[in-house]
A = this chain, B = another copy of it.
Amino acid sequence: MTAKKKTSWSIGDLAREFDVTTRTIRFYEDEGLLQPERRGQTRVYSAADRTALKLILRGKRLGFSLAESRQLIQMYNPDANRAQLEALLGKIHERRAQLIQQLRDIEVMQLELDEAEQRCLEFLK
């Protein structure tokens, strides 16, 4: 009856959940995007790591590089000084502008897909 809220994950857990390879997860650690702890040799991932991974993969789907995702993760931990925070605000605005452009792109592309579909269906009639 005790609500079981998972609080730590193995590398295999995360790989399965997000459908990536363990190599990928270790790579992200090499790049400084994840910081799992160790139980002996073995990596143990926290909820923060899991969230970071989620951010990275969502970023990927939007065409962001790992460097850009690194920024996104930074925005999650406000452990910075004034100058850093102001730089962060700048990055936030940049990201937001990029997202807006992507929204426009998606709209246009959806319309074009509609037209393309119509043309296809017309030819198949």
Contact = CB atoms under 8 A, between A and B. Distances in A.
Contacts of A85: 120, 123-124
Contacts of A99: 106, 109-110, 113
A60 B62 contact: no
Contact of A119 (B78, B102, B123): B78
A105 B55 CA distance: 10
Interface string A108-125: 111011001101110110
B108 A96 contact: no
A88 interface: yes
Nearest to A101: B61
- The residue in A62, A86, A101, A121 that gathers the most chain B C-beta atoms within 10 A of its C-beta is A62
